[in-house]
Chain A
């Protein structure tokens, strides 16, 4: 039998010599131009990293292309970032400008560093996931086509802005703590295939999977039934019981959430909060979603103070002014009614008219 449990390649064999030699000794960094980081070590060593956008879903050809570039300019060393960008690691400063020239010539987008909108963290979508309510890659591509200038540094922003797309409420990745999150949602109660439930599903597990207790056994059909008044369309039951179907191409769509962050800088990490409860799926270009995101970014960029993330800006001006300024309607859908609901109700007379 083949060997098992040996773990990933050792990173010490994947890092360039300049990093091996200066590991833990970096002194400071600057951003000499958009998309380029310059790290200076205590030893005086200088490393340039050139960050380029990736579509995340890539082919072998694409990987081999970036390998060609890394071999030509970076002695073969490169890395990916947590937001799916690629970084070319340039130890020889004389290779920096030629690298940038070639990247420009080959239409790679350089950017995503510092005060910018970096690449979108997103999920699998219709491309390869069974529970996808929408196509995360399509939405990402549509949004970033509009936001390219924010990525490359042509358009300035007051602070970083992180966008994430999740194709269902499972929210793979840290979607729920993003400046702007786009999340696929259902709006109709799942349908139960009684005959199939009795064959393929464990009924106690199915009942237990429901966070609101909306599922009860139906002994007559040896199946389960769902109380539509209690069902919040989370899809948990469909994860444990394939005989329950929730996909509804007519009513499924996406929601938009704002103001989350994970960094502890200045303010504590925050959840993203509901801004727009529903926008229909509009493939291939999701024009309403794209327009909504663009509008949110522009209003924030025009009004936030320097260094103020989306959530920090909203907290300063208040949600009442956020809804006012964006023109978004505030509805019953914005009122939380789940596990932590009361923590979101206002128990002070400090508010704005």
Chain B
């Protein structure tokens, strides 16, 4: 740490919430890179500007991504972060760890890197923050020895992610962790060797509560779904209502499709399954009394993304229902069709949702062999500008 003062950052050690500044200082006590990181960050706080250079490609043998180059723009002042690269380490599905595994990880990162981490990055990787170009290869080699592989970066399939699913949730319609693990192993080539126009993200949430934020941030969202009726335990409903629960305002009135009614005489909740849109509210509100149905699978949504380049999108329904049984062959087939079409047609940095927006949903569905369904739209078109194919009309005169 030396004698460099960080009065601005020290302010962020005050207060009740755990402090990242304290964490950088703990790492800085053992690592010069972390110490320089702290000093450079203090400069950013003084000057209100970042001090990392644009780009710089680094790599490790056998991989086209997974490590991200980072260089200080003031290497003379902060020589220990002249190179301060990121290693994206693919997290175990559901972010489950044993203490033993984490201790192996910290031992290696203390040896080769800053001793700083993001647990976890936005996409889900365990992010190792900061090491030299020279240390990348031995670090990645030793990580491999303890069973940690790299995640994705660049124009690749990015590290997959999911909610906790069947590991610890009664609402899970699908095995989100199992699906993510299987897809991750299956798609190692496209995760590790970027060959696409831009990133492609897949996230899996085991129910429409979407705890993995799949529909907002993944090109392909896999979301658990059931297609028969919710299951109501009448006695448990009665007990909850007798206990003072406001079933009218919290459940019946909130049902978006008015699929629920209350029989006051019998104190019984009645569902019309054909009207249910699987929103989860009643299941969430009455976890002991209402549960998801028996016929379980997933809805696929396509095109979710953050604003860059053409604006943010929330994924659109692509497949209303797909069975999800290992080894998830049908899911893999549709992923391959989607990514093949997208890789063939997209411009540089064009996400699949933007490509569909540009070329049309009908063109996309045709290319991947899916039939249009009313579940895919809020409403049919309201303009008369319909494209007719030559084979759909009689030859003119």
What is the interface of chain A, defined by CB distance below 8 A to chain B?
1-11, 13-15, 19, 23-24, 26-30, 39, 47, 49, 53-64, 66-68, 70-71, 76-82, 84, 86, 108-109, 121, 123-132, 135, 137-138, 141-142, 144-145, 147-148, 169-177, 205, 208-209, 211, 234, 236, 238-240, 242, 247, 249, 252, 262-267, 269, 271, 281, 283-285, 305-307, 338-340
Contacts and interface: CB of A to CB of B under 8 A. Distances in A.
Given A54-B119, A84-B119, A265-B281, A19 B168 contact: yes
Interface stretch (B84-92, B268-276, B330-338, B381-389): B84-92
Contact of B208 (A5, A128, A170, A263): A263
B287 interface: yes
Main secondary structure of the interface of A (DSSP, over half): loop
A294 to B, nearest CB: 14
Given A54-B18, A142-B12, A79 B97 contact: yes
B50 A130 contact: yes
A63 B106 contact: yes
Nearest 7 CB-CB pairings of A with B: A145-B15, A242-B54, A67-B99, A174-B213, A173-B122, A80-B95, A5-B188
Interface string B374-393: 00000000000000000000
A171 B307 contact: yes
A8 B103 contact: no
Interface in B197-212: 208-212
Given A9-B147, A262-B216, A305-B249, A70 B116 contact: no
Interface residues of B, number: 125
A287 B239 CA distance: 47
A267 B206 CA distance: 18
A116 B251 CA distance: 20
A170 B349 CA distance: 13
B100 to A, nearest CB: 6
Contact of B308 (A54, A130, A234): A234
Contacts of A306: 246, 249-250
Nearest to A172: B122
B370 to A, nearest CB: 22
B120 to A, nearest CB: 6
Given A28-B170, A264-B280, A11 B92 contact: yes
Contact of A285 (B11, B93, B189): B11
Given A57-B118, A285-B11, A339-B310, 20 more contacts: A3-B144, A5-B192, A6-B144, A7-B188, A8-B91, A24-B175, A54-B18, A61-B115, A64-B103, A86-B119, A121-B122, A126-B50, A127-B20, A142-B12, A172-B306, A265-B279, A271-B312, A284-B8, A305-B249, A307-B285
Interface string B86-127: 100111111111111111011001100001111111110000
Nearest to B146: A9
A83 to B, nearest CB: 9
A264 B167 contact: no
Interface stretch (B23-31, B258-266, B319-327, B360-368): B23-31
B312 A57 contact: no
Nearest to B311: A339
A10 B181 contact: yes
A150 B91 CA distance: 29
10 contacts: A1-B62, A7-B90, A14-B101, A60-B116, A64-B103, A148-B17, A170-B308, A176-B306, A211-B309, A269-B216
B170 A130 contact: no
Interface string B330-370: 00000000000000000111000000000000000000000
B241 interface: no
Contacts of B167: 11, 15, 19, 23
A63 B168 contact: no
Contact of B26 (A54, A61, A170, A236): A61
A90 B78 CA distance: 44
A262 B213 contact: yes
B192 A205 contact: no
Central interface residue in B121, B144, B172, B307, by most chain A CB within 10 Å: B307
A1 B45 CA distance: 43
A125 B40 CA distance: 13
Contacts of A264: 208-210, 278-280
Q: Which of A3, A61, A171, A284 has the most CB of B within 10 A?
A: A284
Contacts of B12: 138, 141-142, 284-285
A59 B23 contact: yes
Given A56-B118, A263-B208, A76 B185 contact: no
B48 A249 contact: yes
B158 to A, nearest CB: 11
B181 A109 contact: no
Nearest to A183: B307
B196 to A, nearest CB: 16
A109 B211 CA distance: 22
Nearest to B186: A7
Nearest to A272: B312
Contact of B250 (A54, A138, A307, A339): A307
